[in-house]
């Protein structure tokens, strides 16, 4: 069983593929000076791009863990999430309040997906 690591740096790989499963490192927005809606949308756009690069898509997401800076943003983030997840393809999901690596970040996501066959 081969482990394939894509975009690997000293600290982490952006994508790890093993046995038909794709693991994405935590993704944040492109511009942290925006509000929660824009940060969540931008973050999910990055997930789409990485999944495509890895040979998958949002219909094949198995699980997602969302880290949110403050639960006051929960409803707004969920509105973006609900519009993004294809109907009938909701993954297992957890959402927790967490201290972020940078104070301006409001949301981060970690995703596990299956490769498209």
Q: Do 5 and 13 touch, CB atoms closer than 8 A?
A: yes
Q: Does 25 participate in catalysis according to the annotation?
A: no
Closest CA to 29 of 69, 72, 75, 60: 69
**Residue 14 half-sphere exposure toward CB, CA atoms < 13 A:** 13
Active-site residue, from 25, 32, 95, 98: 95
Task: Give the separation between CA 13 and CA 82, rounded to whole angstroms.
Answer: 28
The catalytic residue positions are 95
């Amino acid at each position: 069983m081969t482990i394939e690591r894509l975009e690997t740096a000293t600290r982490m790989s952006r994508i790890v593929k093993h046995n038909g499963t794709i693991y994405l490192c935590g993704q944040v927005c492109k511009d942290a000076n925006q509000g929660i809606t824009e940060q969540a949308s931008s973050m999910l756009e990055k997930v789409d791009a990485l999944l495509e690069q890895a040979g998958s898509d949002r219909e094949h997401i198995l699980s997602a863990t969302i880290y949110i800076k403050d639960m006051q943003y929960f409803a707004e983030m969920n509105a973006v999430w609900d519009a993004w997840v294809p109907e009938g393809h909701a993954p297992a999901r957890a959402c927790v309040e967490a201290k972020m690596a940078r104070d301006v970040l409001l949301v981060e996501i970690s995703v596990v997906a299956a490769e498209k066959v």
